[in-house]
Amino acid sequence: MQRLSQNTGLIFIASSLIFGLSGCSGSSVKSQFDVAEAAVQTEVVRDENMAHNALEKPLGEDLLFNLLAGEFAGVRGEMTQAIRFYEKAAALSGDPQIISRAAYVALYAGDYARAIELTDRWLTLKLPKNETIERIRVISFLHLEELELAVQAIERVLIVDGLLSDKSISPMTHILSKETTPVFAHQVVKRLDEKHPQEPFLLMLLAKFEANLGEYESALLHINQLIELDNELADAYLIKAQIHAGMGEQLLAINAIAKAVEYRPQDIRLRLQYGRMLVRMKMFDKALAHFKALNKTMPNDENVLLSLGLLSIETDDNHQAKLYLQELLDNGYRNQQARYYLGRIQQNDNEDMAAIANYERVLSGDYWLDARLRVAGLLAKSGDTEKALLKLESLNKQGQNETTRVKVFLAKGEVLRSVSRNKEAFSLYNNALQLSPENTDLLYARALTAEKLNLLDVTESDLKMVIMHEPENASALNALGYTLADRTERLNEAREYIFKAAQLLPDDPAILDSLGWVHYRLGQYQAAIKWLNKAFEQLKDAEIAAHLGEVLWMDGQTKKAKNIWNKGKKLNGNQAILEATIERFRK
C-alpha cells in the first residue's frame, strides 16, 4: 500500500475558523473547505443553492465544538483525533462542506476506510455529485486495492452521460500513476478496458502501464489496436517507441517517434525527444541534421546548441563544435557541460590558457572533478609542476570518497611521471594501494612506473594481478607482452600476451606496435615491418617511428629508416626514445 501523495499538504486555518464561526450563529465554515478541494487538484462542482442553504443554517454547540476540536487536533498533528472530531461533526450535520472536509482529513491521514465511510454519507444524503468526493473515493479504493469498487468509482468520474469525459482523463491518469502500485493500476485499467472495449484512452493507458511493467507483447498488441482506431494519434506512437525500445528494437522505436513527429511537427518537446533517441542509437549524422533543423526553429536554445556541439564532436568536427558551444555560452547560459567540452576542444588545439579558464568555471556536476584534473595536467605541461601537484593535493583535502581519491592519486602520479620523478610516483602509488589494494588502475600505473625503475618483478606481478581481475584488459595484456619482449628473452610468452591483446583490440596502434616489436625481437623482420607500418598509419607517433626505422635499418633499408626517423622528429610522442634510437645507429 502507498500513502497519499502530499504535494500540497493539509493547511489548517483554526484562527479563521474561530472568527468565522464565533461572530454569529449564521456564519459558514465554507472557506475552510476550499483547501481540501484544492489539495486533490480538482474544481468542486458547486451548487449555489446548496451553498446558500449552508450559510443560512445555524451551528449548534456540539457541531461547533467538534469542528474546532478537529481543527486544533489537526494543527497539533493529532490526525486520529482530528478525524474522530470531524466524523462526529459530519454525523451531526448534513452540510456538504463539513462532510467534504472530514473525508479529506481522513484521506490525508491515510485512514482510507474512514474516508470511504464519510463519502458514503454524502451519497446516502443524495447530495449533488461532487468531483472532490468522487476522487477521494477513487484514491481510497486504490490504496485499499479494492478492484471492483475502484473501477466503479473511476467510472463515476470518467463516464458522463454514457461518454468519456475529456477533462477527467488527465487527472485520472495522474491518480492511477501516483496513488497505487503499477501492478494494481494495471489491473484496474485492464478491468476498465474489459468493460469498455475499444475505448482509445483506455487502450493507451493499458499499453502504457504494460510497457512500464515490461509486458511488451501485450503493450504492443494494445497500442496497435489504438493505432487502428486512430492512426494520427501522436501519443500512441510515443508509447509504441517506448515499447520497441524496451524490447531492444531500437530502429522500430526510432521509426515510431518519427511518425509521432510527422503528426505533431510543432511539438518541440517531441522533436527534442526524437533527436535524443537518434543520439542513443548512435545515428549521429541523422541526429545532427535533425538538431540543425531544430536550430532554425529554436535559435539560441540551450538544449539545441548543446546537442549540436556534442554531436559535432562525435562527428569529428571540433571547429563547428567550438562555435556552437561558444554561441551557447555567449547567450548567457551557465552550462557546465558546455564549459567542459569547450575546454576539451581548446586543450586538443593547444589553447591551454583558454582551456584552463573554461575548466575552472566548471563549478559542480559530473564534470567538476575531471575538469580539475585536466587543469593540473595543463599546469604540469606548462612546466609548473609544483602548482599542479598543489592543486591535486587540495582536492584530496576536501573529504572526497575513495573513488575520487584514487583518481586524484592517478593524476598526481601522471604529473610526477611526466617529469621523470618516477621514484616519487612509485611511492605515491604504494600509498594509494594501501587505500585500495586491488584497484586495477593503480596497479597498472605502478607497473609502468616500476618498469622505468627497472623493477621488472613488480611490473610483471602488478600486470598479472590486473589480468587476473580483468582477463580482457587489452592494455595490461599489451603492456606485459611488450615489457617481456623489450626487456627479457621470454619472447614466445611475450607474443602470446600481445596476440591476446590484438584479438581484443585489433586496430589499436599501441598493440600493433607491440606486434611489430615482438616479431622484430624474434628476427622476423618482414612481419615486423608489416605490423609497424600499420601502426604508423593508424597513429603518427615518434616512438612508433623509432621502432619502424630501427627494423628497416636492420633489414638493410637504411634510406627508408632515415626518412621515417625524420618524419618522427616532427611528431608527438616519446622523442627521447626516437633520439636515443637515431644516436645508437649513428654510431
In this structure, the answer to whether residues 23 and 160 fall within a common structural domain is yes
Residue with cell 644516436: 583
Burial of 262 from C-beta contacts in 10 A (0-12 / 13-18 / 19+): exposed
pLDDT at 398 over 80: no
pLDDT at 437 over 60: yes
**Arithmetic mean of pLDDT, 205-232:** 92
**Arithmetic mean of pLDDT, 492-520:** 96
In this structure, the answer to whether residues 572 and 505 fall within a common structural domain is yes
pLDDT at 26 over 80: no
In this structure, the answer to whether residues 401 and 522 fall within a common structural domain is no
Q: Which amino acid, residue 358?
A: N
pLDDT digits (tens, 9 = 90+) for 447-459: 999 999 999 999 9
Return the closest-CA partner of residue 287 out of 247, 314, 256.
Answer: 314
In this structure, the answer to whether residues 42 and 93 fall within a common structural domain is yes
Percent of the chain at pLDDT above 90?
59
CATH number of the domain bearing residue 41: 1.25.40
Query: pLDDT confidence of 399, banded at 50, 70, 90?
Result: low
In this structure, the answer to whether residues 460 and 538 fall within a common structural domain is no
Name residues whose C-beta falls within 8 Å of residue 457's C-beta, 6 or more positions apart in sequence: none
- Give me the long-range contacts of 20-26 (CB less than 8 A, separation at least 24): 21/59, 21/64, 21/67, 21/68, 25/58, 25/59, 26/55, 26/56, 26/57, 26/58
- On whether residue 312 sits in a domain, the answer given is no
- On whether residue 157 sits in a domain, the answer given is yes
CATH number of the domain bearing residue 556: 1.25.40.10
pLDDT at 6 over 80: no
Give the total number of structural domains in the chain. Answer: 4
**Arithmetic mean of pLDDT, 386-415:** 87
**Arithmetic mean of pLDDT, 426-454:** 95
Distance CA 423, CA 212 (A): 56
Q: What is the DSSP letter of 436?
A: S
pLDDT at 33 over 80: no
- On whether residue 255 sits in a domain, the answer given is no
Mean pLDDT, the chain, rounded, equals 86
pLDDT digits (tens, 9 = 90+) for 309-322: 999 999 999 999 99
The answer to whether residues 433 and 446 touch, using CB atoms and an 8 Å cutoff, is yes
Query: pLDDT confidence of 341, banded at 50, 70, 90?
Result: very high
pLDDT at 164: 75
Helix pair 509-521, 525-538: axis angle to 10 deg: 160
- On whether residue 368 sits in a domain, the answer given is yes
Distance CA 577, CA 486 (A): 13
Name residues whose C-beta falls within 8 Å of residue 254's C-beta, 6 or more positions apart in sequence: 241, 274, 277, 278, 281, 283
The C-alpha cell at 222 is 494494445
- On whether residue 428 sits in a domain, the answer given is yes
pLDDT at 357: 96
pLDDT at 482 over 80: yes
pLDDT at 148 over 90: yes
pLDDT digits (tens, 9 = 90+) for 152-178: 999 988 887 777 777 777 888 899 999
pLDDT at 245 over 90: no
In this structure, the answer to whether residues 402 and 519 fall within a common structural domain is no
Min mean pLDDT across 63-77, 351-365, 478-492, 524-538 is at 63-77
Min mean pLDDT across 43-52, 234-243, 483-492, 561-570 is at 43-52
Give the helix ranges, DSSP H, for 522-541: 525-538
- On whether residue 74 sits in a domain, the answer given is yes
Q: Is the dihedral of CA 420, 421, 427, 432 positive or negative?
A: negative
pLDDT digits (tens, 9 = 90+) for 130-147: 888 999 999 999 999 999
- On whether residue 222 sits in a domain, the answer given is no
pLDDT at 189: 93
Distance CA 555, CA 520 (A): 10
Buried b (16+ CB within 10 A) or exposed e, 290-321: bbeebbeebeebbbbbbbbbbbbbeeeebebb
pLDDT at 64: 85
Residue 358, domain extent = 346-419
Min mean pLDDT across 68-82, 172-186, 241-255, 520-534 is at 68-82
Return the closest-CA partner of residue 565 out of 555, 556, 577.
Answer: 577
In this structure, the answer to whether residues 514 and 456 fall within a common structural domain is no
Distance CA 177, CA 302 (A): 31
**Arithmetic mean of pLDDT, 48-74:** 66
pLDDT at 587: 66
In this structure, the answer to whether residues 394 and 529 fall within a common structural domain is no
The C-alpha cell at 40 is 486533490
Secondary structure class of 96 (helix, strand, coil): helix
In this structure, the answer to whether residues 532 and 448 fall within a common structural domain is no
pLDDT digits (tens, 9 = 90+) for 192-208: 999 999 889 899 999 99
In this structure, the answer to whether residues 401 and 454 fall within a common structural domain is no
In this structure, the answer to whether residues 446 and 490 fall within a common structural domain is no
**Arithmetic mean of pLDDT, 246-260:** 88
- On whether residue 224 sits in a domain, the answer given is no
Min mean pLDDT across 28-37, 78-87, 470-479 is at 28-37
The C-alpha cell at 394 is 587540495
153-162, 278-287, 409-418, 570-579: range with highest mean pLDDT: 409-418
394, 419, 444 - which closes a domain: 419
pLDDT at 350 over 80: yes
Residue with cell 451553498: 51
Cβ atoms within 10 Å, residue 280:
13
179, 202, 222 - which closes a domain: 179
pLDDT at 59: 63
**Arithmetic mean of pLDDT, 24-47:** 36
403, 419, 435 - which closes a domain: 419
Residue 155 vs residues 66, 100, 160, 170, 176: alpha-carbon distances, Å: 34, 20, 9, 14, 13
Name residues whose C-beta falls within 8 Å of residue 318's C-beta, 6 or more positions apart in sequence: 312, 345, 348, 349
pLDDT at 57: 52
Query: pLDDT confidence of 242, banded at 50, 70, 90?
Result: confident
Q: 160 pairs with which residues across the strands?
A: 163
Pairing of strands 163-164, 159-160: antiparallel
Percent of the chain at pLDDT above 70?
89
Element holding 164 (H helix, E strand): strand 163-164
Q: Which amino acid, residue 257?
A: I
In this structure, the answer to whether residues 397 and 515 fall within a common structural domain is no
pLDDT at 45 over 60: no
Residue with cell 628473452: 489
pLDDT at 395: 85
pLDDT digits (tens, 9 = 90+) for 10-19: 333 333 333 3
pLDDT at 173: 86
Query: pLDDT confidence of 5, banded at 50, 70, 90?
Result: very low
pLDDT at 150: 94
pLDDT at 582 over 50: yes
